[in-house]
Amino acid sequence: MGTFAAPTPAIVGALKCQKDSYLQTLDTEVVSCEEYIAPKTAQPSGKLKTKKSTDPTKGLADGDSNPSKTYLIEFADSVLFPEGGGQHTDHGSITTMNNESNDSIPITNIQRHGLRCIHFSPVPISSGTPVRQNVDFTRRWDLMQQHTGQHLLSAIMDCMDLPTIGWSMGQPGEMNYVELPRKPSDDEMKTIQEQCNEKIRDSMPITAETPEGRGSDSLPEDYDREKGVVRFIKIGDMDYNACCGTHLKQSSHIGLILLHHMQSIRGTNCRLFFTAGDRAIKMATESINSLRSIAVSLSSSSAPADVAAGVQRLGDQVSEARKKEKKMLAEIAKFEGERIMSYLQGHQTAFLHRATDGLDFINLVVFEIKDVVKDHGVVVLSSGEVKTPGSIVVIGKPGLVESMATKVKEVVSTAKGGGKGEKWQGKVTEWQKGEIEALKATAEAE
């Protein structure tokens, strides 16, 4: 190791992947390798801890969710792009070329640290080791189609008084969005969609330029403006934008840009969702297939308008059925109320159990009988089924209610509740086998 003179590594801004975004393999060497020590996140209070555990992405980048070690490796150059400019990290692999072991090491996290491009590796590789880097080019191609697609989409909307305020690239299989200061009209949406695909057909050249002395306002705060390289991405004659990402070489490689829905955000701002290229085709295919399967369930045609009408019809039917059900339940409650009141003519106590409809039904019955039973006897109303939760209400003459509630708690092991005077109300955590029958026997004992 003593004879090893470390080459100066390429800085982010001038990485091989940024100079040639279609290159898939690079032979280079390890410049440095150190074990990754996760930053100590102070967790003195339970509050912080909860926050951490609810963020599923956090642990992955930290590497602290994985008990095995992680190593930070810097190479002389990199064909693997680190996360940046809104573009997600590349995936790929590293193979050592000194015959030590030719196992391919998977790399799924590459980050920019200042001007350095750092690969997170599960295996250490010593400095000076020659390696071959391979890019997962299916993933990279997808990311480039989304990113270059966003540049083109934003350039087109810029000319329509719809400047892009920000954007977010979705993970593979998800939608991307651009944030706009207002919602585009239907006509504007149509124009944007047409223009996008026209510019794609035009097959405009896309190039990266690094003009001397030209700054940009959009550089990250931790990027060294003095030593760094500011790259501008040029789409034909229509767009010139500072960006560190890897881009397609011509607009036709975007394939297509598909506009999705819009979402209001932060007052009058609007998120316009979109996908590009193979991802757009895949999503459109999934949508078509879903529409088809919904159409089959509805026994309608697959035409979007027919499916939408079918779902609307189904919704109307459901709310109609709910109304009917509510009415019917009220009728049953009225009927049961009358039955209880007539039973109380010859008895001190009455019992009613209904497996379904819970407290809603009980309250309907209570409403029917409360004025009569407060002067006459006591009634136990319950709901639920064995192994499920339930409700119990005891209603009647104050003294009788109290003694009946005590008996109820003796019979139903998980009953808890309270109340005084004419009404006691309780919850059953879980009805045990035989308890409903036992409650009936107790309630009807007198």
Q: Least CB distance from residue 145 to Zn ion, whole Å? A: 13
The token duo for 362 is 């009980």
Q: Least CB distance from residue 242 to Zn ion, whole Å? A: 8
Please identify, using beta-carbon distances, which residue of 234 and 427 lies nearer to Zn ion. 234
Please identify, using beta-carbon distances, which residue of 70 and 150 lies nearer to Zn ion. 150
- Distance, in Å, from the CA atom of 80 to the CA atom of 73, rounded to the nearest integer, reads 12
Q: Least CB distance from residue 164 to Zn ion, whole Å? A: 10
Please identify, using beta-carbon distances, which residue of 243 and 404 lies nearer to Zn ion. 243
Q: Are 408 and 380 in contact (CB under 8 A)?
A: yes
Q: Least CB distance from residue 224 to Zn ion, whole Å? A: 20
Strands 71-75 and 25-35: antiparallel
Q: Least CB distance from residue 39 to Zn ion, whole Å? A: 28
Q: Least CB distance from residue 218 to Zn ion, whole Å? A: 9
Please identify, using beta-carbon distances, which residue of 85 and 426 lies nearer to Zn ion. 85
Please identify, using beta-carbon distances, which residue of 119 and 151 lies nearer to Zn ion. 151
Please identify, using beta-carbon distances, which residue of 83 and 444 lies nearer to Zn ion. 83
Q: Minimal CA–CA distance to 276: which of 265, 260, 263, 292?
A: 260
CB atoms within 10 A of CB 336: 19
Q: Least CB distance from residue 175 to Zn ion, whole Å? A: 17
Q: Minimal CA–CA distance to 373: which of 329, 336, 325, 427?
A: 336
- Position of minimal CB gap to Zn ion: 243
Q: Least CB distance from residue 147 to Zn ion, whole Å? A: 6
* Residues in touch with Zn ion (CB under 5 A): 85, 243, 245
Q: Are 326 and 356 in contact (CB under 8 A)?
A: no
Q: Least CB distance from residue 133 to Zn ion, whole Å? A: 23
Beta bridge partners of 94: 105, 133
Please identify, using beta-carbon distances, which residue of 255 and 384 lies nearer to Zn ion. 255
Please identify, using beta-carbon distances, which residue of 89 and 96 lies nearer to Zn ion. 89
Q: Least CB distance from residue 241 to Zn ion, whole Å? A: 7
Please identify, using beta-carbon distances, which residue of 148 and 442 lies nearer to Zn ion. 148
Please identify, using beta-carbon distances, which residue of 60 and 242 lies nearer to Zn ion. 242
